[in-house]
Amino acid sequence: MNVPDAPVPDAPAADRAGPVPEDADTMARDRMWYLFAAGADRPAVPPMPPGAEPPPGVPVSALPVAPRLPDTARHDDLTVLPPGTVDLLEDTPFPAGRITGVPEDQALAHALVAAFGVQRREPENPFNDHRGYASVRSKFPVQILVNDRGRRRVFDPYRRALAGLAGASSEPSAAREVLLTGRFTRLPATYRWYRGSLVQLELGIALRAVCVALQLLGIPARVRLPGPGARERLAEFGLTPSWEWTLPVVIELAGEVPPVAAGPDHGPAEAVPDPVMADVVEMNRAQRFTTAAAAVGTAIPPGTPDTGLSWAEVLWRRTSGRMPRGLFGNNARPRTVPGGVLDTARDWLLTPPPGAELRAAAGALRVTAVTQSVTGHPDGVYEVTSAAYSPRATGPGVPARLEEIYGYPLAPGNGCDVRHASVLWFLSFRPRELAGHLGTSAWTAAQYTCGWAVHGLTLAAATAGLYARPVRAFREAPARRILGLPSDEMVVLAVISGTSRFSGPLLDLRQ
């Protein structure tokens, strides 16, 4: 997942009928769409904070970030997880195969490694080592916490271990849970309001990843979205200051479901050090999901045809694209792909997430596909539903037009091959309309749902030898016009999918 190294302002335009002016700063648009959903017809452009730009010549990816694990992780208190997860995955056909015969006390450990373990190292890649799911510039801001009947720890993907947490509660508990929480400060301050949406999108990706792994291992689970008492869970694991962290998404594996309090209460207001981060925290804390924990049904779409690949191979193949010799971005080569690629992608994209509220968000999301050289589908723009790919406009050259409004442009040190993509996917929704159904939870519900859908899409792309690069870097207003979307519709996330022009050595880090 990538965003521009420096914000690219939208080109001025006469058509300013939408709720967000077209010349609003790219990253500020998130805050404005949120305010529009809350009822502001013409949200004010938030002021640019001091020091928002990176130093000249320094890419965002080179700026310092917080440690990969919480500062309180104790590496003198490690529980090493059993090896052999990759062997189990290699023996399991994708997508219908399931892992059986694993002792009950080891199943969760294998599920954690399958979902979140490190896959490989690409020596020429400037970003962090690959895992089986897409991450914002491979910063991996989502932490995986485990409460195993009162023993509270964090998953360490490099050591393949559970590490203790200084300051975590020792309160006894009958529950077994996996908690997903994102750390906003894993992304540099130059990302501004994007620090919220990008981390929350990755929470949706991580939720799908763990639900897929649990389904593979046959572990029943329920998903509890943030609601009353959610912020207190951060303190339970010693995560302070709490404003650095999203409210956690909880996957319950066993134990009694605690009763939901009568009213939403995330505790007293938090002292946040800068106004942009205060906005980010406000938008995250506004979520108030009140429905009961929902059973994880089908994270893997049923009836998807056999691929001849194993689960280990598909997770290994998943990629956001390649460049040689430490260069940024991705370059593609033109290729004709079979039409079945679109059918498989649709199955994974439209598999609904658990719970009534996320399913409502999934029902409100619109999926648009831009195709190029896909057998049986003339080049053009398509509305994607469970029933069909319905052409909105046909004709060649749409990917090249989208490349012109991509905020991560072709440069000597950076690849950008939007024009050679086989498929570009755009996930959008009408913020005010969804807020009318889900209230203040609509914002995060849409992001969790988009992340959930996109993780499925990246797996589907891997089976066809395609990379799938989630991005937020298209200039929104001109992209809406190219795609035929109305002015009150927000593009939450896009995915560029094609065939990489480059290959290189891959060092296997699996176990």
453: helix, strand or coil: helix
- Residue-level pLDDT at 260: 47
Question: 89-113 b/e with 16+ CB inside 10 Å = b?
Answer: beebebbeeebeebeeeebbbbbbb
Query: In sequence order, what are the residues at sequence separation of 6 or more whose Cβ sits closer than 8 angstroms to the Cβ of residue 56?
Result: none
Residue 269 has pLDDT above 90, yes or no: no
Quick: pLDDT tens for 403-461: 999 988 888 888 899 999 999 999 999 999 999 999 999 999 999 999 999 999 999 99
- Residue-level pLDDT at 257: 54
Residue bearing the bigger pLDDT, 456 or 61: 456
Q: Distance between CA 182 and CA 178 in Å, rounded?
A: 13
Q: Distance between CA 305 and CA 454 in Å, rounded?
A: 19
Choosing among 3.30.565.10, 3.60.10.10, 3.40.1190.10, 3.40.109.10, the CATH entry for 73-120+129-258+275-295 is 3.40.109.10
Instruction: For residue 62, name the pLDDT band (cuts at 50, 70, 90).
Output: low
Is the separation of the CB atoms in 115 and 209 below 8 Å? Answer: yes
Residue 227 has pLDDT above 70, yes or no: yes
Is the separation of the CB atoms in 255 and 173 below 8 Å? Answer: yes
Tokens 């956690």 locate to 248
Tell me the average pLDDT across 304-312: 92
Residue among 208, 297, 216 nearest 249 (CA):
208
Which range, of 180-194, 318-332, 338-352, 422-436, averages the lowest pLDDT? 318-332
Quick: pLDDT tens for 436-451: 999 999 999 999 999 9
* Percent of the chain scoring above 70 in pLDDT: 90
Residue 372 has pLDDT above 60, yes or no: yes
Domain boundaries along the sequence of the chain:
28-43+318-508, 73-120+129-258+275-295
- Residue-level pLDDT at 12: 41
Residues in the chain: 511
- Residue-level pLDDT at 411: 87
Instruction: For residue 153, name the pLDDT band (cuts at 50, 70, 90).
Output: very high
Residue 309 has pLDDT above 70, yes or no: yes
- Residue-level pLDDT at 306: 87
Domain 28-43+318-508 and domain 73-120+129-258+275-295, same fold? Reply is: yes
> To which CATH superfamily is domain 28-43+318-508 assigned?
NADH Oxidase (3.40.109.10)
Residue 67 has pLDDT above 70, yes or no: no
Q: Is-cis flag, bond preceding 241, omega within 30?
A: yes
Secondary structure tally for the chain: helices H, strands E: 13, 20
Instruction: For residue 310, name the pLDDT band (cuts at 50, 70, 90).
Output: very high
What is the sign, positive or negative, of the torsion defined by CA atoms of 315, 320, 326, 330? Answer: positive
